[in-house]
Structure 1
């Protein structure tokens, strides 16, 4: 892997400005007539309602920093000759560091030269568009929205009811990092609200509502090496726990009845690695559906004698998983303990800040307070979860930090908001490490930001709608896995069957089966009953669905040796399990815009069925290989689009002819 020190960043003075290049690629091109950096002053308006934000900016000033004075590796920028510098840039070690000479500046715009046919990917976890070229992406952690399509009825109704409809750019996990088809990557080291604007043919414009610490650049001769560089920069996950390979994580929230239902699924042939009961803490009823009781300890009325049950499951080779998030409800006993100790974020009056989470209020545990972070990691996750016997959990939320609270570290909450998911991940990781269970206990998160890779062992795609919709359905989790995977997140998965059921939108048996087909070719299979279990079909309620799901878990388990090798690559090299086609076929530009199929490791190509009533689909097979259809053994030449029949149970899956795992893959035909 290329070392960052080996990347040649070069500053050259020109007649009226300068250029900066990395490994021969121009990344800044500045002149008095066409400056690449603008600075100014803005006043933002931010309004949060249950994790959804309305954000707008009033730009008071935007100045062209046209005049440059160069001294060694430092560049002093002002609007014209003779003025004092407003901004100073320092070029070194693959980065551009920023220092504002004018303390009033709080907005920055940077233009990076672009090729007309360039593709860009990344931006954290993007769900609608993998190739970001041609669109504008605000980067702010929030609820992703319900529907996420301003032309759809469900988005309209969600906006009317709760301002919760969302748009194509809304995401739980933004990150100001992109990867270019020109074989370089750029990262803005800031937690401030920022925008990536890829709408112009000649340049990309980066907007930051602060002066960033620095902008980092990475370059490599191949996409594989570039991803290795990024994963090394942001952190790598431990290997998947051995118990995960035993089958699916079954999500049930049916109290004590969950154990009976789990056994019936096993009797039907479902391979099971764990039982996940997010309702282990109890339930409360709301208009949204059954919600969890946000006090993070076992509710023994709903789960009597749970410790014994967990031990019995473990003896049978099955783990037990739960749920936690970084907030405490006012009507739970842990709230009083935290409030007396001063562990909550406060309001303007200095009292505990309360947040409305949808018909109940909670305090926000202040993770910038080391004592609060330690208490949550040790007393809640450590003692009440890990010591109790849990082997993992959904570490939910993280994107809800209110922007008007006061924090222990004194930093404006608007600057801490994007960082919050990373702090939340760190609390979970410290708890796991304190019990020497890193790589053994598995928690999964939907929220993220820069650095979450170092702490979070597994992402999940969030709360998709229970449908086949283009911007909020099954297909979005493929895009999410590919975009986040390029930035060092090796493992991704989703709620099989989706989660959000509102306004009469309920999942069908077909959706549940198609989602399970995709999940069999991801790092983790995990089912979810959704926010309204009684209104939506469940795996164990339909004989066809149950039989189909059991077979998919057998396929997942059959591929465990291959998945273990991919986990090893993730640890050693930072390569994601689910990969865009271009990662291994960069000379085939037909692969650059594909976001509804992926490589499962280097040897397998998966093209899930993601539209309703679809019995076949067209699949592009990359050049330079011969591809074997997993279910029939038929071989196809690469560099072509092929139309493949895809009845239920046979999603379009191919493997490379002659690959090392060919014998394992050919065994799929017998399952």
Structure 2
């Protein structure tokens, strides 16, 4: 849920709030007029000519007439480049301290009249004018950074006004770019400008609305020559402008792809990671932190709504699922369960006994999840507000006055999550949520949002933040506000309930959010474009290192048609976070509300999700260990396949499944582009050979799913025990899979068994590696007559 467009807000909530948003906007303008440095004449600066170089462990520093460049290779192969004395720390993105350097990497003179740093995975060359080229070990250029440019006040440095900067780069003509956080028109980023500023779009969004709630300066670039990730470690407002390249088809008139990064301040520093997509995401997770491991129940189906209204309604909806035999893992309560929308409270009239409700739901295997907003009603007598005032927890302006904004509770104050003391103070309040029986939390409105009749709906840019003791203003803190709030919540849940893994997901965040949990689409519009955007967001976020995400099934606003709802439901049943959700003014989202046919097919999707529970849990553990997203683009293992790089209407779920959702109305057959190898239709068992395009049936009852030949897919069998579906490999080829299993929601080491498959005559031979006491049944699928096991 987020700040709806103001016209509708006034109609729904009342004109008094509309008038307050006008006052809030004017107040923000006045605060910034008084608190921001005044702009004036500027002068441009470039590095100038190189004057020398100083070798250091892992790289070195090249000194120019008007700047310096530090190049350092980390032990895992990631390359750091920092201009003007920038170092890797402090950083909100890095997990813990800066990684150790690669002692084998060294700086040396280059034959091209410059310098180079050579390492096992990458070579970096620096010209005497400040151009930086990232090359493969074989010397192929993956990315060329042109000399940067800064804009500084002509009268000299001004406190609180760091120089703006721009850096342009060139990539191969065939390169395709992905990432930059959650982008509705993705996952492939076409030519255009993408703002780096976490933004509540002010109502339901659809392609090409941009920016959205979770932006981050992370690009994954895929080309024939190789793949690489580039991350500009800068939290300020900025923009990335991309121009896709054009190949001359042998005419010699190739036009390279271009990228321009513009930042309104902050350090010019970036990391580059080179390798296959899997290796790149693994190194990224090592650099910024392993994705949090959700408890097994969080991989089931969730039902949420803004507007349950009462305990009675929650019980009625849950009973509807149970009576119809529909699996349900969790119910999410939105702000309407609060007392006057005030965080860490309960409306006792509508929810007289939340702990009892939570306990009753838990008896049926259903967890209760609570929304948590950052805004605290600025009202003396409110316990959270009074405690925050006493702790000095709230953001202030340059004059020391508490910054106020207009949010759901009314006039509100905002905790400064960039202060470790405030994170600890805020985290103590999660004990109240646990005492109410909640099993997890979802963070909303944390871009942060302050309703405004005009201008940017957030805090004044001049608002002061601790920034871990360094001090600064909202221009630097805005993009990491949600990330720091997620850290506060995650660390609190770990401390308050150490025996269980926390469940947390956040609407906003930044690079490194995966350490604390996942995210969701936010207020995607109800419509077929919103359905397509749902897939784009999950794919794009996964390529930025945030593997756990999903959309609001059916869209946040409006009333989906039965067909649209069903197709959305079917898509989401193969995504990590499987959740229906809707606004208080929107139509229903329970499957039975759309007629008996939709109910029947939704039941099938729910049971298939339940059947794949061991596979999803395995993918969650693999994401935690390797950084690989659950949901992957088709080119994941074949990045040099250009046709796959442009395919955006299907995806891989792990290594084994190819899911081809229906994203348009009236479709009962659809074309699917296959990667190379043999693929089996999961429903019919028919085999197809890739690469190429095939046409498969897509009846209302299901979406096409194909299984890679040789795969071993863990599923729940008919008796409720884990069994293995073994799909016959191609003759002369091997396949395999992995099963990672656990009991409970804690931190116990899981059990892992790996499998290798190959054909022996007409039978599939399965070899295993792992504990012998793990028992399971096997079932052969595909072109084979049986199994051969040790």
CA distance 1:314–1:170, shift in 2 (3 Å): same
Equivalent position of 1:154 in the other structure: none
CA distance in 1: counterparts of 2:27 and 2:215, whole angstroms: 18
CA distance in 1: counterparts of 2:523 and 2:27, whole angstroms: 14
CA distance in 1: counterparts of 2:507 and 2:244, whole angstroms: 31
User: Which among 43, 52, 58 is matched to residue 70 of structure 1?
Assistant: 52
1:116 partnered with 2:173: yes
Equivalent position of 1:244 in the other structure: 298
1:95 partnered with 2:136: no
RMSD over aligned Cα atoms: 2.9
SS of aligned partner of 1:499 = coil
Measured after TM superposition, the shift of residue 423 of structure 1 is 0.4
Equivalent position of 1:185 in the other structure: 229
CA distance in 2: counterparts of 1:529 and 1:180, whole angstroms: 35
Equivalent position of 1:407 in the other structure: 465
CA distance in 1: counterparts of 2:402 and 2:413, whole angstroms: 7
CA distance 1:437–1:558, shift in 2 (3 Å): farther
Measured after TM superposition, the shift of residue 148 of structure 1 is 4.9
* 1:579 and 1:598 in contact (8 A); partners too: yes
Residue by residue over 1:412-458, the C-alpha shift from the partner in whole angstroms, topping out at 9 and shown as x without a partner, is: 11111111111011011111111245863311112111221222x22
CA distance in 2: counterparts of 1:261 and 1:127, whole angstroms: 31
* 2:650 and 2:658 in contact (8 A); partners too: yes
Residue by residue over 1:17-37, the C-alpha shift from the partner in whole angstroms, topping out at 9 and shown as x without a partner, is: xxxxxxxxxxxxxxxxxxxxx
* 2:206 and 2:524 in contact (8 A); partners too: no
Equivalent position of 1:632 in the other structure: 684
SS of aligned partner of 1:205 = strand
CA distance in 2: counterparts of 1:653 and 1:50, whole angstroms: 54
Measured after TM superposition, the shift of residue 645 of structure 1 is 2.5
* 2:711 and 2:726 in contact (8 A); partners too: no
CA distance 1:652–1:62, shift in 2 (3 Å): farther
User: Which among 429, 432, 441 is matched to residue 493 of structure 2?
Assistant: 432
CA distance 1:367–1:593, shift in 2 (3 Å): same
SS of aligned partner of 2:188 = coil
Residue by residue over 1:334-386, the C-alpha shift from the partner in whole angstroms, topping out at 9 and shown as x without a partner, is: 334323443211235533221123693221112233333222101x21x2112
SS of aligned partner of 1:347 = coil
CA distance 1:593–1:495, shift in 2 (3 Å): same
SS of aligned partner of 2:712 = coil
TM-score (norm 1): 0.79
CA distance 1:510–1:575, shift in 2 (3 Å): same
* 1:268 and 1:546 in contact (8 A); partners too: no
CA distance 1:527–1:76, shift in 2 (3 Å): same
CA distance in 1: counterparts of 2:26 and 2:503, whole angstroms: 31
Q: Which moved more, 1:479-488 or 1:210-219?
A: 210-219
* 1:570 and 1:576 in contact (8 A); partners too: yes
* 1:443 and 1:458 in contact (8 A); partners too: yes
Pairing 1:148-297 to 2, within 5 Å after superposition: 148=205, 168-181=209-222, 182-199=226-243, 201=245, 202=256, 203-212=258-267, 214-220=269-275, 222-245=276-299, 247-252=300-305, 253-256=308-311, 257-279=313-335, 281-282=337-338, 293-297=341-345
Residue by residue over 1:555-585, the C-alpha shift from the partner in whole angstroms, topping out at 9 and shown as x without a partner, is: 1000011112111211211111001111112
* 1:492 and 1:523 in contact (8 A); partners too: yes
CA distance 1:59–1:519, shift in 2 (3 Å): farther
Equivalent position of 1:611 in the other structure: 664
CA distance in 2: counterparts of 1:649 and 1:437, whole angstroms: 43
Measured after TM superposition, the shift of residue 89 of structure 1 is 1.1
* 1:270 and 1:551 in contact (8 A); partners too: no
Pairing 1:478-489 to 2, within 5 Å after superposition: 478-489=535-546
CA distance 1:629–1:389, shift in 2 (3 Å): same
CA distance 1:415–1:356, shift in 2 (3 Å): same
CA distance 1:64–1:239, shift in 2 (3 Å): closer
CA distance in 2: counterparts of 1:130 and 1:226, whole angstroms: 17
Equivalent position of 2:404 in the other structure: 354
1:140 partnered with 2:197: yes
CA distance in 2: counterparts of 1:283 and 1:652, whole angstroms: 45
Structure 1 ranges of 4+ moved more than 6 A? 47-51, 100-103, 665-669
Measured after TM superposition, the shift of residue 536 of structure 1 is 4.7
Equivalent position of 2:11 in the other structure: none
Equivalent position of 1:458 in the other structure: 518
SS of aligned partner of 1:564 = helix
SS of aligned partner of 2:580 = coil
CA distance in 1: counterparts of 2:531 and 2:201, whole angstroms: 15
Equivalent position of 1:161 in the other structure: none
TM-score (norm 2): 0.68
CA distance in 2: counterparts of 1:133 and 1:438, whole angstroms: 45
* 1:619 and 1:642 in contact (8 A); partners too: yes
* 1:627 and 1:654 in contact (8 A); partners too: yes
Equivalent position of 2:566 in the other structure: 513
Residue segments in structure 1 that go unaligned for 5+ positions in a row: 1-46, 52-56, 78-84, 151-166, 285-292
Equivalent position of 2:479 in the other structure: 418
CA distance in 2: counterparts of 1:244 and 1:571, whole angstroms: 15
Residue segments in structure 2 that go unaligned for 5+ positions in a row: 1-23, 29-38, 55-59, 74-78, 86-149, 246-255, 449-457, 715-723, 728-778, 782-790
CA distance 1:479–1:261, shift in 2 (3 Å): same
CA distance 1:665–1:298, shift in 2 (3 Å): farther
Q: Which moved more, 1:580-589 or 1:103-112?
A: 103-112
CA distance in 1: counterparts of 2:293 and 2:27, whole angstroms: 35
Equivalent position of 1:13 in the other structure: none
Residue by residue over 1:624-658, the C-alpha shift from the partner in whole angstroms, topping out at 9 and shown as x without a partner, is: x2112222222222112222221222112111123
SS of aligned partner of 1:493 = coil
1:590 partnered with 2:643: yes
SS of aligned partner of 2:293 = coil
Equivalent position of 1:368 in the other structure: 418
* 1:90 and 1:96 in contact (8 A); partners too: yes
Between the two proteins, the alignment pairs up a number of residues equal to 574
